[in-house]
Amino acid sequence: MPSRKGCDVPITPTAKIWMDGELVDWEQATVHVLTHSLHYGSAVFEGIRAYATPTGPAVFRLRAHIDRLLRSAHVLELTVPYGADELCSAVRETVRASGIAACYIRPLVYLGYGEMGLNPLPCTVHVAIAVWPWGAYLGEMEGDAGIRLKVSSWARHDPRAVPSAAKATGFYINSSLAKVEAVRAGYDEALLCTTDGYLAEGTGENLFVVRDGVIATPPASAVGALEGITAASVATLAADLGYEVREKLMRRADLYVADEAFLTGTAAEVVPIASVDDKAVGSGRRGPVTAAIQEAFFGVVRGENDRYKDWLDHVD
Ligand code: PPE
């Protein structure tokens, strides 16, 4: 069986999960089987990481993630009973309670038990925040190795069918279908294209393509990709390093002839792409631009770059 990297490691429980304002024991953080969001995918969520820094655990771009969570909720008309400041404090509190130096953070806004049917408006809105240690999402990469990517036979869901700017749980069936197809065929990750055949994004990552020293990424709203916070951070760091970064509609063949390509995401971080559809990207190893961006990114999240200390929210 091909490995299901990222999914083949069971969750390691931590002490507490924040649920509607209370820290509850991990095992007690349960919902009723008739919870609305379980049936209709009517929840919105975030993925955030906290990193170990010399001055203690720090959450990377916490406010940006909470703002996106609230925007997702707004798009789906979920009335979140907490404000951004309260949610940021709740995240810090949950990380603190876990006592771990680095973790993945999963805030979830969901519709609860009590109403059924496709109209979500009468439902009660709940918030949960869980944290757990999550290692290299696409597998540990040795040296200059990169992932094997497959262009999916599934199209990225059309932004006219769902508001793809919202990070809604139900939308992820699209990503899961592509992921299963790719891992069953022996690849690490899938890349979804729009129904018109433009490169959109990975199942949980944004895409960057490097050619002749210029870094290109698909325009998120046009291709129905999520506006990645890691992608925005990486674009800023790449510009600092002197690279030109531009948004560009690209086709499958643009990946085949790229010098380098990489994926970005909170869970995935910055990951080099070694090949696409079994064709080597550039040298088939991590290239110099990707390496420079990885170094800059990991320097920032580990608190080694004062210029971006505003991107880190210390929990203590
Ligand atoms: N596109 C998609 C579809 C996506 O889910 C993510 C994050 C991104 C791009 C990158 O966005 P950002 O994290 O803001 O840089 N995917 C989250 C869920 C992964 C999962 O397996 O669950 C994540 O990385 O937390």
Give the pLDDT band (50/70/90) at residue 61: very high
- Rounded Cα distance, 49 and 138, in Å: 15
8 Å CB contact between 229 and 71: no
Cα–Cα distance list, 185 to 3, 50, 128, 182, 188 (Å): 10, 33, 35, 5, 9
- Rounded Cα distance, 146 and 160, in Å: 33
Residue-wise pLDDT for 68-90, tens only, equals 999 999 999 999 999 999 999 99
Q: Ligand 1: distance of its center to the CA of 267 in Å?
A: 7
* pLDDT (0 to 100) of residue 48: 98
Dihedral sign from CA coordinates of 65, 67, 73, 74: negative
Q: How far is CA 171 from the centre of its chain?
A: 14
Residue with the smallest CA separation from ligand 1 atom 8 is 205
Residue with the smallest CA separation from ligand 1 atom 5 is 204
Q: Ligand 1: distance of its center to the CA of 117 in Å?
A: 28
Q: Ligand 1: distance of its center to the CA of 227 in Å?
A: 9
Residue with the smallest CA separation from ligand 1 atom 3 is 204
pLDDT at 5 over 70: no
Domains recognised in the chain with CATH numbers: 16-132 (3.30.470.10), 147-301 (3.20.10.10)
* pLDDT (0 to 100) of residue 7: 56
8 Å CB contact between 267 and 204: yes
Residue-wise pLDDT for 182-220, tens only, equals 999 999 999 999 999 999 999 999 999 999 999 999 999
Residue with the smallest CA separation from ligand 1 atom 11 is 228
pLDDT at 26 over 80: yes
- Rounded Cα distance, 59 and 309, in Å: 11
pLDDT at 241 over 80: yes
Supply 70's token pair. Answer: 């609230």
Q: Helix/strand/coil (H, E, C) string of 118-167?
A: CCCCCCCEEEEEEEECCCCCCCCCCCCCCEEEEEEEEECCCCCCCCCCCC
Q: What mean pLDDT value characterizes the chain?
A: 96
Give the pLDDT band (50/70/90) at residue 302: very high
Cα–Cα distance list, 19 to 131, 151, 215, 289 (Å): 12, 38, 41, 42
Query: What percent of the chain has a predicted confidence (pLDDT) above 90?
Result: 95
Cross-strand pairs, 128 = 19, 108
Give the pLDDT band (50/70/90) at residue 9: confident
Residue-wise pLDDT for 128-183, tens only, equals 999 999 999 999 989 999 999 999 999 999 999 999 999 999 999 999 999 999 99
| Closest ligand 1 atom to Cα of 175 | 3
Which residues are CB-neighbours of 7 under 8 A, at least 6 positions away?
A: none
- Rounded Cα distance, 253 and 281, in Å: 11
Cα–Cα distance list, 284 to 15, 45, 256 (Å): 42, 34, 11
8 Å CB contact between 112 and 89: no
Residue-wise pLDDT for 122-135, tens only, equals 999 999 999 999 99
| Closest ligand 1 atom to Cα of 229 | 14
Q: Ligand 1: distance of its center to the CA of 114 in Å?
A: 30
Pocket of ligand 1, beta carbon within 6 A: 47, 175, 201, 204-206, 225-226, 228-231, 264-268
Candidates 16, 150, 167, 179; catalytic one: 167
Q: Ligand 1: distance of its center to the CA of 5 in Å?
A: 15
- Rounded Cα distance, 145 and 275, in Å: 10
- Rounded Cα distance, 35 and 160, in Å: 28
Q: Which residue among 7, 173, 226 has the greatest number of ligand 1 atoms within 8 angstroms of its CB, and so is best to mutate?
A: 226
Give the pLDDT band (50/70/90) at residue 2: very low
8 Å CB contact between 262 and 238: no
279 as an active site residue: the answer is no
